[in-house]
Structure 1
Amino acid sequence: MKDYVLEIRSLIGSRPFIIVGATVIVENEEGGVLFQFRADTKEWGLPGGAMEPGESLLETAERELWEETGLHAERMDHIETFSGKRFYFRYPNGDEVYNVIAVYKAFGVSGGGGGKAQGDETLDLHYFTELPEAIDVRAKEIMERVRGAGNGE
């Protein structure tokens, strides 16, 4: 992800661009949802990220789950795809994006010693039964709409 996004950023600077990616909802047996404390925004978000050239959305979801949590899923079901002005985001460094996010639910999750991040994007991992207070706006929107049976745009 970083190489492709950095290449685009070198051409357009911080201006907004459309970025396609995938997010994964992982639930434990108690109904808690796995959130990652993100290094870039210092907020709790759902594991996920941008699609690499040539990847499918499912491959993106699988790769991002592994990179950010150290977990693998036996199966992932596509729940919904979200987009539109509510998925605009400005990163702390000023980079702007309009996200198109395919949301998957993971089943048969294993590995990672209980979910230990593989890279430097994740500072902590935790299962929450209620939405965390310091939550990324995109993750909040996704969870509220998925749990409330809302529709994507």
Structure 2
Amino acid sequence: MNHIMELRKLVYTRPLVIPGACELFEETGLTAKHLQLLNVYSGNDFYYKYPHGDKVYNVISAYVCREYRGTLIQDVEEVAALKFFRLDNVPGRINPPEHPILLEFIASHQS
């Protein structure tokens, strides 16, 4: 995990894609070969109150990753469950600020 901390020091001097790749690896064990920006989200739909009481208005840069390497490894402190799923079978229980992002992604990939 030390390499994650080193990458995080670069956040303000590198493009947003580096923190995106960092989070992907930290939470899933996967390394992105390429990330494509889906959209940047903010506003009231992205307000969240964490179970421990912290309140945040998230600004989220969401990426699509179609090419990666590695094996799924769950960070048990940050991720409740980790698996791939079909777009027509999205889990009902996901992090609330991520719900509108998934809906947009699914809508953009329906025929």
Please state which band the TM-score falls in when normalised by the shorter chain: 0.7 to 0.9
Deviations 1:60-105 (A, max 9, x none): 0111111000000110011111111110000001100001101111
Percent identity, aligned pairs only, is 31
1:64 aligns with 2:23: yes
**Structure with the bigger percentage of strand:** 1
Q: Describe the SS at the equivalent of 2:74.
A: coil
Q: 4+ runs of 1 displaced by more than 4 Å?
A: none
1:96 aligns with 2:55: yes
TM-score, with structure 1 as normaliser: 0.57
TM-score, with structure 2 as normaliser: 0.77
How many residue pairs align between the two structures? 96
* Residue in structure 2 matched with residue 121 of structure 1 by the alignment: 78
CA 1:85–1:62 in structure 2 vs 1: closer, same or farther (change >3 Å)? same
Structure 2 residues without counterparts, runs of 5 or longer: 1-7
**CA RMSD for the aligned pairs?**
1.7
Q: Describe the SS at the equivalent of 1:73.
A: strand
Q: Which has the higher contact order (CA 8 A, sep 6+)?
A: 1
Structure 1 residues without counterparts, runs of 5 or longer: 1-51
* Residue in structure 1 matched with residue 33 of structure 2 by the alignment: 74
